[in-house]
Structure 1
Amino acid sequence: MDVIIIEDEKPSARRLQRMLKKLNVQAETLLHSVEEAINWFQNHNHPDLIFLDIQLSDGLSFEIFEQIDIKSAIIFTTAFDEYALKAFKLNSIDYLLKPIDEGELTVAIDKYKHRILPQQAVTLDFNDIKNLLVNPLDRGYKKRFSVKFGQHLKLINIDDIECFYSEHKGTYLHTTDGRNYLLDLTLEQLEHELEPQLFFRVSRKFFVNINAIKDMVSYTNSRLQIKLNTFKDQPVIVAREKVKDFKAWLE
């Protein structure tokens, strides 16, 4: 199997390369920008499979397809919200949310081996997918959550929530008045419920509300630590693989 990785963050590209090697998949070619990828495709045979980051240092990776008729199967690696990524499923593309999990990577590779025919051409409307990602529609995100409060149920408006977090196999929301409430949802399920312009998943443990961020400071290993208005139960750290997308989200 001939595989290449297109990822602008070199540590992330090398990490994915090592993960693939554990699965006996060799990805010898690492590309890091739209321009570099276009030049490479113009001078090489197309691989069987591409691992492709959506947001590269010099633009969206869809710009590659505007100039090159790609004949390869594609697995996107991205931090974009899962609603937008439903479009990929409809077009028989797989995707992996960053930071990439080894188990999910294994499933994606197995899916490719069993479902994708060799040399199958990609027939996708990338403009439609790009528009969906760049200009997402209002998909009816949740405006409030119901939580148990003793023997009662309490409604909490989304604007009153600073963050969602996981702890001891439970999922909690933290409110602007400093209270924590247990939810019957996982963080993965919350991917479907939260407005992506308002909440960002900074790590596997936290979603944060952009309006609750009080301060941000540098942290070890090229990460960021977020200071929220009232949440002080534990450090809120932006995963290294998400720092770039987090900074773009803030803007």
Structure 2
Amino acid sequence: MSASVPTLTLRTGFTIPQIGLGVYKVPAEQTADVVLTALEAGYRHVDTATLYRNEKAVGEGIRRSGVPREELFVTTKVWDDDHGYDSTLAAFDRSLDLLGLDYLDLYLIHWPVPSRDRYVETWHALERLAADGRVRSIGVSNFHAHHLERLSAESESVPAVNQIETHPWLPQHEDRAYGETHGIVTEAWSPLARGRVLGDETLGRLAAKHGVSAAQIVIRWHLQLGNVVIPKSVTPARIRENLDVFGFELDFEDLAAIAELETGERTGSDPDDH
């Protein structure tokens, strides 16, 4: 595992690198090269999903890298159409086959889809996969605290991770606080608000202060909050830059300035409406 990237210990006892590569909207024909570039740069954590339609290419990039499997942390997710006990087990088999792996490090429910009301049943399938040793840790994505409360009431286990949209506009105080109280690690998707937050004047000023980019400021902010963060890029220089965030630290005034950027704006759906 890359020595420069800190890890967090999940409730399952396994560790997750605090920075990973996200591959949402990376075309399948580019994905293997992007994954290879990231692994060569020192990443050891890759996050994909059934929805992204690039799991096979992620697996190809992993194989081409030559990095031993035990050094990697690989995540994928079950999509909305596959909710339900048996269909989730079948979806997991398809994902594992496409990735060309013997096990997953983390498997997530992509969205709760409350209108279908099957996420508890889906969670029970994930519990079965974990009990069988086919996935080391299980978790959820886009769950609010009240969704997590229901899982807790109707299940035998608690998610190791909740992957939610999190960035300076949307710091997710309530859901992160719930996670901290219940031992659930928060993982940030859209950590740069799909790049839109990077034009902010405050972030530009902080970037100049520290001699880094605005993206590096935001990634460092996530790390200091205790989030796992999965920035996405297809540009080799930016992939490397996103990992180079350990030579500086944000001080109290920096963090206070970023806290002022909160607007509640989302780049994706609210989980209650998805």
Bin for the TM-score computed over the shorter chain: 0.3 to 0.5
TM-score (norm 2): 0.30
More helix by share: 2
Specify which structure has the bigger relative contact order, considering alpha-carbon pairs within 8 angstroms and separated by 6 or more residues. 2
TM-score, length basis structure 1: 0.32
